[in-house]
Amino acid sequence: MEICVIGAGYVGLTTAAVLADLGHTICCVDTNSEKIKQLKRGEVPIYEPGLSELISKNKDRLTFSSKVVENIQKTAVIFIAVGTPSLADGRTDLTYIQSVVDEIAEGIKSYKTIITKSTVPPGTNENIYKMLKETGVDPKLFNVVSNPEFLREGSAISDMIKPDKIVVGKQQEDQKSLSVVKNIYKNINAPFIITSLNGAEMIKYTSNAFLATKISFINEIARICDKYNVNIEDVSKGIGTDPRISPHFLSSGIGYGGSCFPKDVRSLEHSALDRNVTPQLLQAVQAVNHSQVNLYIDKLSVFIDDFSEKTIAVLGVAFKPNTDDIRYSPAVSLIEKLSSLGSIVQTYDPKALLPLAMMEMVSQHIKLEQAIMNADCVVIATDWDEFKQLNWLKVKELMKGKYILDARNCIEPQVVRDAGLTYIGVARP
């Protein structure tokens, strides 16, 4: 099939590359002509394992263009994969979706199946349908489908090739789109979940909100375990064997971050409030997450009474390992907090870089040893494998002090203690 993917960001590029690999002919379009030029040169602007290889493997079937309207005209299937960032109040910014709707309205001459991959609040796809109709587009010329993605950074390609489900939201009267979508994914082995447009949007938000809830839940339990001298790892393992709970997303630590969970939970809260539902649980999930950095600082303050002039090495800046993404990274919030307390912060991350604006208050090192040098305390803020395998005797030699704060529960406390260092964690007796 010939498909136009609108948006050459993280979701758009992954979708385009995987669809091309499934044998479809794809044109991925974006109004950012610099980005398109880069992609045409074979440079992939984001770091995602395997993406660059998949794009180059399928280069005969995958083209890039900044001519959005022209390509919309040419293809019968359009994927919308533009960004839906947060506004300052936490609502979802639908400006890019609105621009795409305008471009589709301009370029529609023949029948189109319009498939939304972007994460959008409930009601958005119905609005896309209404907006197109209101701009005068003949409703016989299009159908709107919601087909959310469930991609994790770092494993986006395998998540798309081997999904646990394919969610398709469509209008009840739409008799055409399901067979189009089934045809697109015919080489993927996964059950189809077929629902309404709002239903598909809700599945996406609920999925992320549920996972975020598991994290805040185990983080709250860790606070209680801490007071009773109980190892949270034992509790996670103990409850995770129950298939109704499952062992996943039960790692306690400094909290969730990234481009999805914080934004989507907040957006869902707004969707609830808009219809006079007070989402008490979603609010609590966010409150717990926001207070995780302070919890870890409080833990540290038992050992460090004055943070000013103390040198603190923060290992890990990315919101999780195997990515260079620092969006809503709890490690970044921790660095900001330590700097505001007057500490000298030295950071290291195998992939991620801090924004230039932060460079005045933090020194960022390309070598782990330099970040640790003369530190009073070392904080593990992202659970990169590299940090799990540290030689603690060597770390001790480089440090001035002896405190190790494990904010990801990824280090064996005894190994640190055996090196003569003091291990600090939450619910890690």
- Name the segment binding ligand UDX (CB under 6 A); options: 69-77, 168-176, 245-253, 345-353: 245-253
Is residue 253 involved in binding ligand UDX (CB under 6 A)?
A: yes
Candidate list 320, 322, 346, 404; residue touching ligand UDX; CB under 6 A: 320
Q: Does residue 410 have an active-site annotation?
A: no
Task: Look at strands 77-80 and 112-116 and give their pairing.
Answer: parallel
**Catalytic residue, candidates 27, 260, 377, 410:** 260
Candidate list 17, 105, 260, 268; residue touching ligand UDX; CB under 6 A: 260
> Cα-flanking dihedrals φ and ψ of residue 321, to 5°?
-70, 165
Integer Rg of the chain from CA: 24
Candidate list 181, 250, 352, 421; residue touching ligand UDX; CB under 6 A: 250
Is residue 153 involved in binding ligand UDX (CB under 6 A)?
A: yes
Looking at residues 50 to 89 of the shown chain, list those that interact with ligand UDX (rule: CB under 6 A).
none
Does the annotation flag 195 for ligand binding? no
> How far, in Å, CA of 337 to CA of 343, rounded?
9
Looking at residues 290 to 319 of the shown chain, list those that interact with ligand UDX (rule: CB under 6 A).
319
> How far, in Å, CA of 327 to CA of 90, rounded?
15
Task: Look at strands 166-170 and 142-146 and give their pairing.
Answer: antiparallel
- Whichever of 56 and 246 has its CB closer to ligand UDX, that residue is 246
> How far, in Å, CA of 421 to CA of 342, rounded?
24
Of 139, 208, 127, 112, give the one whose Cα is nearest residue 167: 208
Q: What is the DSSP code string of 230-265? A: --HHHHHHHHHTSTTT-STT---SS---SSSHHHHH
Candidate list 256, 307, 392, 403; residue touching ligand UDX; CB under 6 A: 256
Task: Find residue 346's DSSP bridge partners.
Answer: 313, 363
- Name the segment binding ligand UDX (CB under 6 A); options: 21-29, 180-188, 238-246, 252-260: 252-260
Of 406, 404, 410, give the one whose Cα is nearest residue 422: 404
Give the residue at shortest CB distance from ligand UDX.
260
> How far, in Å, CA of 386 to CA of 363, rounded?
20
List helix spans (H) across 135-196. 156-161, 177-184
Task: Look at strands 77-80 and 422-424 and give their pairing.
Answer: unpaired
- Whichever of 21 and 48 has its CB closer to ligand UDX, that residue is 48
Does the annotation flag 266 for ligand binding? no
Distance of closest approach, residue 320 Cβ to ligand UDX, in angstroms: 4
| Residue 12 and residue 115 in contact, taking contact as beta carbons nearer than 8 Å | no
Distance of closest approach, residue 382 Cβ to ligand UDX, in angstroms: 7
Sequence ranges of the binding site for substrate: 150-153, 204, 249-253, 257, 320
Binding site: what residues are annotated?
30, 35, 84, 119, 150-153, 204, 249-253, 257, 263, 320, 327
Q: Which residues are annotated as a binding site for NAD(+)?
A: 30, 35, 84, 119, 153, 263, 327
List residues binding ligand UDX (CB under 6 A): 149-153, 208, 211, 215, 249-251, 253, 256-258, 260-261, 319-320
